[in-house]
Amino acid sequence: MALDYRKCAEQIVSLIGGRENVAQAAHCATRLRLVIKDNSKIDKAALENVDGVKGMFESNGQLQLIIGTGTVNKVYDEFLSVTGMSAATKDDVKAAAAAQQPAWKRALKSVGDVFVPILPAIVASGLMMGVVEALGKAIPSFADTDWYAFLDMVANTAFAFLPVIVAISAARVFGGNVYLAAVIGLMMVHTGLLNGWNVGSADAINSFFGVTDGKIPSWNLFGDITIGDYVLGSISRHGYQGHVIPVMIAIWLMCKVEKWLHQHVNEMIDLFVVPITTVFVTALFTFVVIGPIFATLENFVLKGAEWLVQFPPGAMIMGAIYPATVVMGLHHMYNVIEAGMLSSTGLNTWMPIASAANFAQFGACLAVGIKCRQAKLKTVAVPSSMSAALGITEPAIFGVNFRFMKPFICGMVGGACGALFGSIVKIGATAYGVTGIPGYLTINNPGVYTILLLISGGVAFGLTMFFWEENPEPAAHAVDAGATNNEPAASSGIGTDIVSNTVMTCSAGKIGQPVKGSIIPYTEIPDATFASGVLGQGVGINPDEGIVYAPMDGEISSVAESKHAIGITGAGDMELLIHVGVDTVEMKGDGFNTLVEEGDKVVKGQKIMEFDIGAIKAAGKPETVVVLLTNSDDYDDFTVS
């Protein structure tokens, strides 16, 4: 009996709390995607029993109902008719789902979105910086060589110009011009400004500005107009090396200004007015507003830290909040505390606190790397943790721990425990500038220092392993919810040699090579639609033989009437399209023989189609086999091998 699309849509609307409980709705190849305002109003048990709904799961703030290829679009049309809503795209739904998240979750996601693309640069730099600094401390003579100077330059470039890299990535996230963002980032580390790492050094200030009072001069744009102690329009002439949050705020503002101007400036003068106005307004706000705010924060944190570290409970507090000051970009001024300690007592008791905090972030990040199942996350977390062990924590904090928050908090707890221990036993260092494992080169009691690292890293590691859970993958059982009783074919026709070659990977699983032949990027498929990626990312295969094997376990979701294309739904709701040849629908099945039907279950390596390469060529069609994961944008870790 044919499905009553109208009835199916009406039941869905009723069971999700009515039209007023739906923020946005769209559909993809097999699923109805809904953004729900109040999930408590959903009757999930009843939804799964609606005729036409084969399964359901929640992912990334969306309620996704599996309905099936060729049916979901009809149910969606009726859904729009019942609710009176307008059609939306998957991007509209994603934006609506994101808007439903709490503000702090949206902020964390933004930080993650900005940092994930730049992680290779800062992970590599972090590891190299740790090794170079350790070598310089271990072999003082090496620190005076040209090799050391060269390696130090190579290693710290990404961090010296971190605001530029962050600015470009942030512009992509917030939807602005990346070149204007690069200009803003470059301004924040301009050579005409004192390097931000030297803000607390009177000698560096005096040398750079030619002054003798150790105070950073200011530009007063509006003269001496004051509001209390604040001089209106005053700009402290120092850079923002090491800062992250100020850069992101600046680029977020830049994108808002740029978009507003594009909407309100006449197209005839847009090219001239928008860029210069955007840069000027952003620069003025960045240096006049953001600058004083963070300069004030630095002073408060510095004075508070100097007072707190005199007592064990205070050291514990600083061990906990130290990573938070790294996130804010305020940690570079701690060198002032260390220098003061060395000049007055000859012992730097701040270093064990910083080491405890940094090594705790190492422990938390390593736990994520060990516990996670996603290959892409593992390849980021493990090397980032090694960088943190060497004292360079930015890759671990921004790429992993702060992004998922729970590991970051576990690291704060571990840092507090280690710092408290260090303060009680009164260990210290004879120099400053290194923490973590390289800290052995300057610490006065290596044995006790080892215990401190074990406490801080161990507590953070254990807590993260216990409390942190990887985001759950879409339930595999959803695929089977409406499956037929058809069983996979027997072992005959198993092409294990072919499908063992993985061509795509995501958190839901691996997709093998379904056809013998040479692989090409999907962007080189001789069809504009496939090559654009609009139907999903994947690969093209120039076939050597006319046999298609199932590249993963799953269920046949569609078989084209012209037999040239097959859809497979796999674990985690992967939606795979195998399309043999380009424009071969026009061949109306000539030269194609499908061996499966819609609803059949298949196993990886099972023969599912035969086709005649000669017939395709004779018809004047490209024989390239298109293999696309049509919902590849659902997986943050999707990669093409």
Nearest to 25 by CA among 106, 96, 114, 119: 96
Geometric angle at alpha carbon 374, from 370 and 375, rounded to 5°: 85
Helix (H) or strand (E) holding 258, with range, is: helix 245-264
In angstroms, the CA 64 to CA 78 distance is 17
Q: What is the mean pLDDT of the chain?
A: 84
Helix (H) or strand (E) holding 320, with range, is: helix 312-328
Name the CA radius of gyration of the chain, rounded. 29
Helix (H, G, I), strand (E, B) or coil at 78: helix
Structure tokens at 106: 């949206």
Q: What is the mean pLDDT of residues 198-212?
A: 88
pLDDT of residue 483: 36
Task: With cut-offs at 50, 70 and 90, classify the pLDDT of residue 341.
Answer: confident
Cβ atoms of residues 509 and 574 within 8 Å: yes
Q: What is the largest CA-CA distance in the chain?
A: 90
Q: What is the mean pLDDT of residues 300-319?
A: 86
> Is 164 a residue whose pLDDT tops 90?
yes
Cβ atoms of residues 205 and 196 within 8 Å: no
Task: With cut-offs at 50, 70 and 90, classify the pLDDT of residue 100.
Answer: low
Q: What is the mean pLDDT of residues 242-253?
A: 87
Question: Among all chains, which residue has been given the structure tokens 């003061």?
Answer: 340
Other beta carbons within 10 angstroms of residue 585's beta carbon come to: 16
Residue 403's Cα: distance from chain center in Å? 8
Lowest mean pLDDT among 44-48, 353-357, 440-444: 44-48
Task: With cut-offs at 50, 70 and 90, classify the pLDDT of residue 442.
Answer: confident
Structure tokens at 129: 């910086």
Q: What is the mean pLDDT of residues 518-544?
A: 86
Q: Which residue has the higher pLDDT, 290 or 628?
A: 628
In degrees rounded to 5, what are phi and psi of residue 76? -65, -45
What one-character DSSP code corresponds to residue 87? Answer: P
Cβ atoms of residues 96 and 23 within 8 Å: yes
In degrees rounded to 5, what are phi and psi of residue 63? -95, 120
Q: Which residues contact 416 (CB under 8 A, 6 or more apart)?
A: 316, 317, 319, 320, 356
Q: Which residue has the higher pLDDT, 289 or 100?
A: 289
Partners of 619 in the beta sheet? none
In degrees rounded to 5, what are phi and psi of residue 611? -145, 155
Note the pLDDT tens digit of each residue in 561-609. 788 989 898 887 788 999 999 888 888 889 999 999 888 889 999 999 9
Cβ atoms of residues 38 and 7 within 8 Å: no
Partners of 524 in the beta sheet? none
Q: What is the mean pLDDT of residues 527-551?
A: 86
Q: What is the mean pLDDT of residues 322-349?
A: 78
Residues involved in catalysis = 28
Q: What is the mean pLDDT of residues 509-532?
A: 88
Cβ atoms of residues 323 and 397 within 8 Å: yes
Q: What is the mean pLDDT of residues 237-246?
A: 84
Other beta carbons within 10 angstroms of residue 477's beta carbon come to: 11
Q: Which domains does the chain have, with CATH numbers?
A: 5-100 (3.30.1360.60), 309-472 (no CATH), 477-640 (2.70.70.10)
> Is 533 a residue whose pLDDT tops 90?
no
> Is 479 a residue whose pLDDT tops 60?
no
What one-character DSSP code corresponds to residue 212? Answer: S
Note the pLDDT tens digit of each residue in 112-155. 778 778 877 877 887 788 788 888 888 889 989 999 999 999 98
> Is 251 a residue whose pLDDT tops 80?
yes
Return the HEC string of 446-511.
HHHHHHHHHHHHHHHHHHHHHHCCCCCCCCCHHHHCCCCCCCCCCCCCCCHHHHCCEEEEECCEEE
> Is 334 a residue whose pLDDT tops 50?
yes
pLDDT of residue 293: 83
pLDDT of residue 131: 84
Note the pLDDT tens digit of each residue in 18-62. 998 888 888 876 678 888 888 888 988 888 888 888 777 776 678
Helix (H) or strand (E) holding 629, with range, is: strand 625-629
Percent of the chain with pLDDT over 90: 37
Helix (H) or strand (E) holding 56, with range, is: strand 55-59
pLDDT of residue 31: 77
Q: What is the mean pLDDT of residues 486-506?
A: 66
Helix (H) or strand (E) holding 185, with range, is: helix 178-187
pLDDT of residue 583: 86
pLDDT of residue 530: 80
> Is 485 a residue whose pLDDT tops 70?
no
pLDDT of residue 155: 87
Q: Which residue has the higher pLDDT, 113 or 386?
A: 386
